[in-house]
Structure 1
Amino acid sequence: MDLNQMLSEIEGGNDEEIERLLQRYNSENNRTFTFDQKEESLRIKLCQSTLAVLRREVPFSCQRTCLETLRIMSRDKCVLSPVATREGILTLSLSQNGLQEDNLSEEEERVVVEALKCLCNVMFNSPTAQQICVDVQLAPVLCGKLHSADTWHHEVGLFTLRLLFLLSALRPDLRMCLRKDCQAVTLLTKMLEHTLDINWWLTFTAENNERVMEALKALFNLTLNEPEGEEDVRQCRVIVSLLRHVLMLKTETVEKTEELHSHAVNLLNNLPVSCLDGAGRPACASASENLKVKPEIGNTMRNKLVRLMTHVDWGFDIMSGCEEEPRPNPSEDMTEEQKEYEAEKLFKIITELTRHDMIRPMVVRPDGQLGSLEDKLREIANDDDEANNSDSD
């Protein structure tokens, strides 16, 4: 689809024509995740035009189509500049916040869901958008929505929780505000209690499972710091009780059950040991227990927990979690020529993997993120050249 022609038709078209054009664009690019760099400037203009349409009084169907277009374009970090502004974030926020969520029509629900998806994509891909979301007080708004969690439509609740998770993950400075000012831990705990109580002993539905996992991920971010005061400790004990039940639940598939239990164990690792009293039965290891069998092998709850957690300070191998027999050094009986041959062979394998981008040497940048070793060496070489030039001057 020619973007130049599409932009000119959008500028002079009415709501119905614009909706038709954007629907065609959406259907053609619904599965597109890599975009043509040559059309980057045109996509930025399309993003600006779509936001301008959203700010007008247009029907819900047109709003949904515009938001679908923005969601598709938000996969490309290079065209987020029109959306990653205060005006752009407010436009998306109003699209998902201006409707009464407990009484949504199907068309209104799709508008809210698409706006939440856009916000998730934009926040994930743009640090500028993350700061703007903080400035426009998005966190208190999301926590306010948790009060009506029992009336949520599934996807509205799912992407509200995902947005809260992203905000708490990407902005660590907000976690204390979410815990203390917004009472996010209390609200998420109540939401979990309500959701888990729907099918307490039965097989957990896929929709409830998705919402619970998003809530567990958000709680993980909010409990990274040690609890302060009696109220925090009480909340941790409530969370432990909930996690105990989560670990006994089964979902519709084995894979989803393992994923749910994995998130529960991750959160459990954050909580103080003092809060685990009464969560499990005391047990003594049997003298006849075979420690040569790896504890993660099997289908019992213990085996599953061991697969998700690392055992340390038990006298076992910390990697395998069981007793390991000493292994001979493979190079002991090699001649120097054999050692040199094996080293060259290993070097060729690593070189081949690097050439095909299957592995890549990395370094940790000052901001804590992984960066390319090649880029780092290039920076060092440039710094040395600049230093030599300044010395010669």
Structure 2
Amino acid sequence: MDLKGAIELLETGDQDCALTALQSFNSQMSHCFTFENEDGQEREHLGELVLGFLNGDLQPSCQVACLETIRILSRDKKCLGPFITCSAMSTLARYAGIAVGCTSTEDQREQGTKQGEETCPLSENPDLEVIVEALKTICNIVLYNETAQVVSAELQLIKGVAERLKQCRDPIWTYEVRFFDLRLTFQLTALRVDVRAQLAKELHGVSLLGNQLDATLDLCWPDSLETARKGCEGVPSEDLPPLSQQQIELSMEILKILFNITFDTQRHKVDEEEAAEYRHLGAILRHCLMSRTESEQLTEEFHSHTINLLGNLPLPCLDVLLMPKVQPNSIEYMGVNMDAVHMLLEFMERRVDRGHKLKETLIPSLNLLTESSRIHRETRKFLRSKVLPPLRDVMNKPEVGNTLRNKLVRLMTHIDTDVKDCAAEFLFVLCKENVSRFIKYTGYGNAAGLLAARGLLRGGRDSGIYSEDEDSETEEYKEFKARINPITGVVEEDRPDPMEGMTEEQKEYEAMKLVQMFDKLSRSSVIQPMQLDMDGNMKELTTDDLHRLTNNPVLQAENLNNSDEDEA
């Protein structure tokens, strides 16, 4: 049935005729995502008629048909007018079971009352198909229209969704209801800063969604900060059955919402109660990190969302990654379980090897490892043993080779500044922010960027607080230490002296000629010469500085000769 035919039957007002027309229209348009040959005004008129039916007394089958029609029509971003009013959004929220208060916002404004705080009660046996169809429709409308986002915030839809999220262990709510509840929550928290803050603070979002993730993964708690899957207590993580597709899809939606509402967590201090919530969440995230799915690609995506969220947690709360007891198959270091840290390291190396969109894919895991190393001694020493083991290869440049150290040193000269800085910062922290050790493992040339930015080109140690221990040196390194070029970080063959055989006057002439070349390049703004100040910071080399260097009879004579050549 075409659009005009459906409109004519709906205008009769007969519910049976409307049901037949809408079912036919929906069947025809279910796989259509464009409406190029249809009149926009007619589509809007159909939407208004359908909304009129929804405000009446309908059978469940007719409710589903009406909501499905609106969902199909809402794919057209240009024809959302009928659906973005307070009245329309209230109607849809009522069918989705997330309406707050039982009167519309417009009615409340007329009555001069505040919006109700109670969620409209659901029947004991809600029609789940109706709820899912309404949620899908709201998701479409909110995603495509800014006005709908504002109206959703005004109607407090997030409160209605949060109320149902509290019932995450109630078997009445199917996977689809839970998924689209979470999808709508993600959209609202991603698009509206006020909703994000409301969920985080007023609705205790971290605790609410942590419980949601706990229920989704079907966890139990052998210890206060140690998780296990129900029925699989004591089973090594590598022997656990893979998570189901539905568990993964729900979990990733939860992780994305949690990322939104914890985005600025590290910018403010958390109290003891909040820290306890974050540690509880961190223990669940550790379980996520150690879990797998049936698909390697899906596992990678799941772990990526987990790592993104771990990066938002307050740094002191990351100690939960090290808290599980050491099991027979665990990776142990200094008496601590390093399974999670080792998993993070492997994930990071895979991203380095892939080399694709490093800023988006690599930086979160690299930053997480850096900050964990900075604050936890055991983590730093373990990572150093893996990334910067005692130096034995002094014949190849630090950036040459296939070890993780080689790969990270190569990133220190990456074209993307953020990637370059993150790689350098990670290695610098593993070196306990000791300049000489940093240069030893990376070469002065590779290290110069970070050292210049911190004013450490003259050596010393940055402000990091680390234990004082001796740097172990291998026999190979001690043997060739005197011959290692600090710039390249490698033993180089002796080269002939280019000034051998020159008189002192010739040497001085060549030196002044070089200064003159720098002066010309500086005057034409091709380069900006720099020099080290007394504090080891780089500063601009001014013209006066160059003139002091060029105040030499030999160079003055050369300048005069060049002036004559220019005039000629």
TM-score, length of structure 2 as denominator length: 0.51
Residue 73 of structure 2: aligned partner: 73
Compare the two structures and name the one with the higher helix fraction.
Answer: 1
- CA deviation map 1:102-158 (0-9, x unaligned): 744xxx111000100111111111111111111111111111111101122110001
Using the TM superposition, give the Cα deviation of residue 13 of structure 1 relative to its aligned residue in structure 2, in angstroms. 4.5
Task: Give the distance between the partners of 1:148 and 1:260, measured in 2 at CA.
Answer: 24
5 Å-filtered alignment, 1:176-325, equals 176-197=197-218, 199=229, 201-226=240-265, 228-280=270-322, 302-306=345-349, 307=351, 308-310=361-363, 311=366, 315-318=409-412, 319=414
Using the TM superposition, give the Cα deviation of residue 230 of structure 1 relative to its aligned residue in structure 2, in angstroms. 2.5
Residue 189 of structure 2: aligned partner: 168
Q: Are the equivalent residues in 1 in contact too, given 2:183–2:253 (CA < 8 A)?
A: yes
Using the TM superposition, give the Cα deviation of residue 20 of structure 1 relative to its aligned residue in structure 2, in angstroms. 1.4
Residue 45 of structure 1: aligned partner: 45
Bigger mean CA deviation after superposition, 24-33 or 156-165: 24-33
Between the two proteins, what is the percent identity of the paired residues?
Answer: 35
Task: Give the distance between the partners of 1:202 and 1:115, measured in 2 at CA.
Answer: 35
Residue 135 of structure 1: aligned partner: 154
Taking structure 1 as reference, are residues 33 and 145 closer, same or farther at Cα in structure 2, changes over 3 Å only? same
Task: Give the distance between the partners of 2:299 and 2:121, measured in 1 at CA.
Answer: 34
- CA deviation map 1:153-185 (0-9, x unaligned): 110001001111111100012222211111121
- CA deviation map 1:78-108 (0-9, x unaligned): 111111000010010000116748744xxx1
Q: Are the equivalent residues in 2 in contact too, given 1:204–1:252 (CA < 8 A)?
A: yes
Task: Give the distance between the partners of 1:300 and 1:179, measured in 2 at CA.
Answer: 29
- Point out where structure 2 has 5 or more consecutive residues left out of the alignment: 98-119, 220-228, 231-239, 323-330, 335-341, 352-360, 371-407, 425-441, 447-568
Q: Are the equivalent residues in 2 in contact too, given 1:265–1:305 (CA < 8 A)?
A: no
Classify the secondary structure of the residue corresponding to 1:150. Answer: coil
Using the TM superposition, give the Cα deviation of residue 38 of structure 1 relative to its aligned residue in structure 2, in angstroms. 4.9
Amino acid of the structure 1 residue aligned with 2:3 = L
- CA deviation map 1:9-31 (0-9, x unaligned): 11105212211111111111111
Task: Give the distance between the partners of 1:160 and 1:305, measured in 2 at CA.
Answer: 32
Task: Give the distance between the partners of 1:125 and 1:18, measured in 2 at CA.
Answer: 27
Using the TM superposition, give the Cα deviation of residue 4 of structure 1 relative to its aligned residue in structure 2, in angstroms. 2.2
Residue 57 of structure 1: aligned partner: 57
- CA deviation map 1:167-216 (0-9, x unaligned): 11000122222111111211100111122125554321111211111111
- Point out where structure 1 has 5 or more consecutive residues left out of the alignment: 285-298, 327-393
Residue 340 of structure 1: aligned partner: none
Taking structure 1 as reference, are residues 187 and 133 closer, same or farther at Cα in structure 2, changes over 3 Å only? same
Task: Give the distance between the partners of 1:132 and 1:283, measured in 2 at CA.
Answer: 54
Q: Are the equivalent residues in 2 in contact too, given 1:185–1:219 (CA < 8 A)?
A: yes
Q: Are the equivalent residues in 1 in contact too, given 2:74–2:80 (CA < 8 A)?
A: yes
Classify the secondary structure of the residue corresponding to 2:411. Answer: coil
Task: Give the distance between the partners of 2:286 and 2:348, measured in 1 at CA.
Answer: 12
Task: Give the distance between the partners of 2:124 and 2:301, measured in 1 at CA.
Answer: 30
Using the TM superposition, give the Cα deviation of residue 263 of structure 1 relative to its aligned residue in structure 2, in angstroms. 1.1
For the pair shown, the structure with the greater C-alpha radius of gyration is: 2
Task: Give the distance between the partners of 1:154 and 1:14, measured in 2 at CA.
Answer: 34
Task: Give the distance between the partners of 1:143 and 1:6, measured in 2 at CA.
Answer: 37
1:9 to 2:9 alignment: yes
Task: Give the distance between the partners of 2:410 and 2:332, measured in 1 at CA.
Answer: 21
Q: How many residues align?
A: 309
Task: Give the distance between the partners of 2:158 and 2:272, measured in 1 at CA.
Answer: 24
- CA deviation map 1:25-62 (0-9, x unaligned): 11111111122265111100011111111111111111
TM-score, length of structure 1 as denominator length: 0.72
Task: Give the distance between the partners of 1:45 and 1:173, measured in 2 at CA.
Answer: 33
Taking structure 1 as reference, are residues 234 and 315 closer, same or farther at Cα in structure 2, changes over 3 Å only? farther
